[in-house]
Protein backbone atom coordinates (compact mmCIF):
# COMPACT_ATOMS: atom_id res chain seq x y z
CA UNK A 1 0.00 0.00 0.00
CA UNK A 2 1.15 3.50 -0.78
CA UNK A 3 2.10 5.71 2.16
CA UNK A 4 1.50 8.90 0.20
CA UNK A 5 -1.40 10.99 1.49
CA UNK A 6 -1.99 12.43 -2.01
CA UNK A 7 -2.23 8.94 -3.54
CA UNK A 8 -4.78 7.90 -0.90
CA UNK A 9 -6.89 10.99 -1.53
CA UNK A 10 -6.68 10.40 -5.30
CA UNK A 11 -7.66 6.73 -4.91
CA UNK A 12 -10.61 7.43 -2.62
CA UNK A 13 -11.91 10.17 -4.93
CA UNK A 14 -11.48 7.86 -7.94
CA UNK A 15 -13.55 5.17 -6.22
CA UNK A 16 -16.08 7.90 -5.44
CA UNK A 17 -16.46 8.61 -9.15
CA UNK A 18 -16.95 4.94 -9.97
CA UNK A 19 -19.71 4.54 -7.37
CA UNK A 20 -21.88 6.24 -10.00
CA UNK A 21 -21.94 2.90 -11.85
CA UNK A 22 -24.12 1.56 -9.02
CA UNK A 23 -26.31 4.66 -8.78
CA UNK A 24 -26.03 8.39 -8.18
CA UNK A 25 -25.16 9.00 -4.53
CA UNK A 26 -23.89 11.79 -2.24
CA UNK A 27 -20.28 10.52 -2.36
CA UNK A 28 -20.27 10.75 -6.16
CA UNK A 29 -21.86 14.20 -6.07
CA UNK A 30 -19.26 15.40 -3.55
CA UNK A 31 -16.41 14.20 -5.78
CA UNK A 32 -18.04 15.73 -8.85
CA UNK A 33 -18.39 19.12 -7.19
CA UNK A 34 -14.91 18.93 -5.68
CA UNK A 35 -13.49 18.21 -9.15
CA UNK A 36 -15.29 21.18 -10.69
CA UNK A 37 -14.21 23.42 -7.82
CA UNK A 38 -10.60 22.31 -7.99
CA UNK A 39 -10.54 22.68 -11.77
CA UNK A 40 -11.95 26.20 -11.53
CA UNK A 41 -9.51 27.12 -8.76
CA UNK A 42 -6.58 25.79 -10.76
CA UNK A 43 -7.70 27.68 -13.88
CA UNK A 44 -8.08 30.84 -11.78
CA UNK A 45 -4.52 30.55 -10.49
CA UNK A 46 -3.19 29.95 -14.01
CA UNK A 47 -5.16 32.95 -15.28
CA UNK A 48 -3.88 35.14 -12.45
CA UNK A 49 -0.28 34.06 -13.18
CA UNK A 50 -0.84 34.88 -16.84
CA UNK A 51 -2.06 38.39 -16.00
CA UNK A 52 0.89 38.98 -13.69
CA UNK A 53 3.45 37.69 -16.22
CA UNK A 54 1.98 39.13 -19.39
CA UNK A 55 0.42 42.39 -18.23
CA UNK A 56 1.50 43.52 -14.77
CA UNK A 57 5.23 42.74 -15.06
CA UNK A 58 5.75 44.54 -18.41
CA UNK A 59 3.61 47.47 -17.22
CA UNK A 60 5.62 47.81 -14.03
CA UNK A 61 8.75 47.99 -16.19
CA UNK A 62 7.37 51.03 -17.98
CA UNK A 63 6.01 49.34 -21.13
CA UNK A 64 2.88 51.44 -21.36
CA UNK A 65 1.75 49.83 -24.67
CA UNK A 66 0.46 46.98 -22.50
CA UNK A 67 -2.23 49.33 -21.23
CA UNK A 68 -4.14 48.71 -24.48
CA UNK A 69 -4.72 44.94 -23.99
CA UNK A 70 -5.32 45.52 -20.27
CA UNK A 71 -7.98 48.13 -21.07
CA UNK A 72 -9.57 45.83 -23.65
CA UNK A 73 -9.60 43.03 -21.08
CA UNK A 74 -11.27 45.24 -18.49
CA UNK A 75 -13.88 46.32 -21.04
CA UNK A 76 -15.08 42.70 -21.18
CA UNK A 77 -16.47 43.21 -17.68
CA UNK A 78 -18.65 46.03 -19.03
CA UNK A 79 -21.42 43.52 -19.68
CA UNK A 80 -22.00 43.28 -15.93
CA UNK A 81 -22.76 47.02 -15.62
CA UNK A 82 -26.00 48.48 -16.88
CA UNK A 83 -25.40 51.05 -19.60
CA UNK A 84 -21.85 49.82 -20.26
CA UNK A 85 -22.74 46.53 -21.95
CA UNK A 86 -21.70 47.93 -25.33
CA UNK A 87 -18.08 48.28 -24.16
CA UNK A 88 -17.71 44.48 -24.10
CA UNK A 89 -18.39 44.32 -27.84
CA UNK A 90 -15.14 46.09 -28.74
CA UNK A 91 -12.71 43.58 -27.18
CA UNK A 92 -14.93 40.72 -28.39
CA UNK A 93 -14.75 42.04 -31.95
CA UNK A 94 -10.99 42.29 -31.52
CA UNK A 95 -10.70 38.68 -30.29
CA UNK A 96 -12.96 37.27 -33.03
CA UNK A 97 -11.26 39.30 -35.75
CA UNK A 98 -7.75 38.38 -34.61
CA UNK A 99 -8.65 34.71 -34.13
CA UNK A 100 -10.26 34.43 -37.55
CA UNK A 101 -7.38 36.18 -39.27
CA UNK A 102 -4.77 33.99 -37.59
CA UNK A 103 -6.68 30.80 -38.42
CA UNK A 104 -7.38 31.86 -42.01
CA UNK A 105 -3.73 32.76 -42.60
CA UNK A 106 -2.72 29.10 -42.62
CA UNK A 107 -5.98 27.37 -43.44
CA UNK A 108 -6.03 27.98 -47.20
CA UNK A 109 -2.67 26.28 -47.64
CA UNK A 110 -2.99 23.67 -44.89
CA UNK A 111 -6.63 22.65 -45.23
CA UNK A 112 -7.37 23.15 -48.91
CA UNK A 113 -4.35 23.32 -51.20
CA UNK A 114 -2.24 20.62 -49.54
CA UNK A 115 -5.20 18.33 -48.85
CA UNK A 116 -6.40 18.57 -52.47
CA UNK A 117 -2.86 17.97 -53.70
CA UNK A 118 -2.61 14.91 -51.45
CA UNK A 119 -5.85 13.52 -52.87
CA UNK A 120 -4.54 13.92 -56.44
CA UNK A 121 -1.95 11.17 -56.18
CA UNK A 122 -1.28 8.73 -59.06
CA UNK A 123 -3.22 5.48 -58.78
CA UNK A 124 -0.30 3.14 -58.22
CA UNK A 125 -1.54 1.16 -55.24
CA UNK A 126 -4.72 -0.27 -53.76
CA UNK A 127 -4.62 2.45 -51.07
CA UNK A 128 -4.61 5.29 -53.61
CA UNK A 129 -7.38 3.59 -55.60
CA UNK A 130 -9.53 3.29 -52.46
CA UNK A 131 -8.83 6.94 -51.58
CA UNK A 132 -9.94 8.00 -55.06
CA UNK A 133 -13.13 5.89 -55.01
CA UNK A 134 -13.97 6.94 -51.44
CA UNK A 135 -13.36 10.65 -52.08
CA UNK A 136 -15.45 10.67 -55.27
CA UNK A 137 -18.21 8.66 -53.61
CA UNK A 138 -18.48 10.95 -50.58
CA UNK A 139 -18.39 14.07 -52.77
CA UNK A 140 -21.16 12.57 -54.95
CA UNK A 141 -23.20 11.78 -51.83
CA UNK A 142 -23.25 15.47 -50.93
CA UNK A 143 -24.23 16.69 -54.41
CA UNK A 144 -27.64 17.92 -53.33
CA UNK A 145 -28.27 19.93 -56.50
CA UNK A 146 -28.26 16.82 -58.72
CA UNK A 147 -31.16 14.37 -58.68
CA UNK A 148 -29.95 10.92 -57.68
CA UNK A 149 -32.03 9.17 -60.35
CA UNK A 150 -29.59 7.54 -62.77
CA UNK A 151 -27.64 4.38 -61.94
CA UNK A 152 -24.27 6.16 -61.96
CA UNK A 153 -25.31 8.68 -59.32
CA UNK A 154 -27.04 6.03 -57.23
CA UNK A 155 -23.94 3.83 -57.32
CA UNK A 156 -21.67 6.75 -56.40
CA UNK A 157 -24.10 7.66 -53.62
CA UNK A 158 -23.94 4.08 -52.30
CA UNK A 159 -20.13 4.06 -52.41
CA UNK A 160 -20.10 7.37 -50.51
CA UNK A 161 -22.46 6.02 -47.87
CA UNK A 162 -20.40 2.84 -47.39
CA UNK A 163 -17.19 4.90 -47.17
CA UNK A 164 -18.68 7.13 -44.49
CA UNK A 165 -20.03 4.12 -42.57
CA UNK A 166 -16.53 2.61 -42.56
CA UNK A 167 -15.16 5.94 -41.34
CA UNK A 168 -17.78 6.17 -38.56
CA UNK A 169 -16.98 2.58 -37.57
CA UNK A 170 -13.27 3.42 -37.32
CA UNK A 171 -14.03 6.53 -35.24
CA UNK A 172 -16.37 4.57 -32.94
CA UNK A 173 -13.80 1.79 -32.49
CA UNK A 174 -11.14 4.43 -31.74
CA UNK A 175 -13.51 5.90 -29.15
CA UNK A 176 -13.81 2.50 -27.44
CA UNK A 177 -10.04 2.12 -27.53
CA UNK A 178 -9.68 5.54 -25.88
CA UNK A 179 -12.08 4.64 -23.07
CA UNK A 180 -10.31 1.35 -22.42
CA UNK A 181 -6.93 3.11 -22.35
CA UNK A 182 -8.24 5.64 -19.84
CA UNK A 183 -9.66 2.83 -17.69
CA UNK A 184 -6.30 1.04 -17.86
CA UNK A 185 -4.67 4.23 -16.57
CA UNK A 186 -7.11 4.32 -13.65
CA UNK A 187 -6.54 0.64 -12.80
CA UNK A 188 -2.76 1.13 -13.00
CA UNK A 189 -3.15 3.95 -10.50
CA UNK A 190 -5.50 2.08 -8.14
CA UNK A 191 -3.87 -1.37 -8.26
CA UNK A 192 -0.31 -0.21 -8.98
CA UNK A 193 0.43 3.15 -7.38
CA UNK A 194 -2.08 2.73 -4.53
CA UNK A 195 -2.16 -0.91 -3.45
CA UNK A 196 0.93 -2.17 -5.33
CA UNK A 197 -0.80 -5.22 -6.77
CA UNK A 198 0.45 -4.44 -10.29
CA UNK A 199 4.23 -4.69 -10.53
Of 17 and 159, CB closest to another protein: 17
SS3 88: helix
| Minimum distance from residue 106 beta carbon to another protein (Å) | 3
Query: Judged by CB, which is closer to another protein: 151, or 176?
Result: 176
* Nearest distance from C-beta of residue 16 to another protein, angstroms: 16
Helix (H) or strand (E) run with residue 63 in it: none
Minimum CB–partner distance for residue 47 and another protein (Å): 7
Q: Which is nearer to another protein, 67 or 170 (CB)?
A: 170
DSSP 145: T
163 and 136 Cβ atoms separated by less than 8 Å: no
Q: Which of 130, 169, 131, 138 has its CA nearest to residue 156?
A: 138
Q: Please report how close the Cβ of residue 114 comes to another protein at its closest, in angstroms.
A: 5
Give kind and range of the element (H or E) at residue 143.
none
Nearest CB to another protein, comparing residues 146 and 195: 195
Q: What is the CA radius of gyration of the chain?
A: 27
Length of the chain: 199
Q: Which is nearer to another protein, 86 or 97 (CB)?
A: 97
Smallest gap from residue 100 Cβ to another protein (A):
10
Q: Give the closest residue to 161 by CA, choosing from 183, 139, 145.
A: 139
C-alpha count within 13 angstroms, C-beta hemisphere, residue 48: 6
Q: Site residues (CB under 8 A) for another protein?
A: 21, 42-43, 46-47, 49-50, 53-54, 57-58, 98-99, 102-103, 105-107, 109-111, 114-115, 117-118, 131, 167, 170-171, 174-178, 180-188, 191-192, 197-198
Amino acid sequence: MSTSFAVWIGAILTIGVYTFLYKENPFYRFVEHAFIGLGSGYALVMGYTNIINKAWTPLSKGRIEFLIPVALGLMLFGRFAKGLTWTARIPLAFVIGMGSAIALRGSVQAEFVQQIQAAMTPINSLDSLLILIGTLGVLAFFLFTVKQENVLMQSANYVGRVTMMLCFGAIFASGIMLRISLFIGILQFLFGTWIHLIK
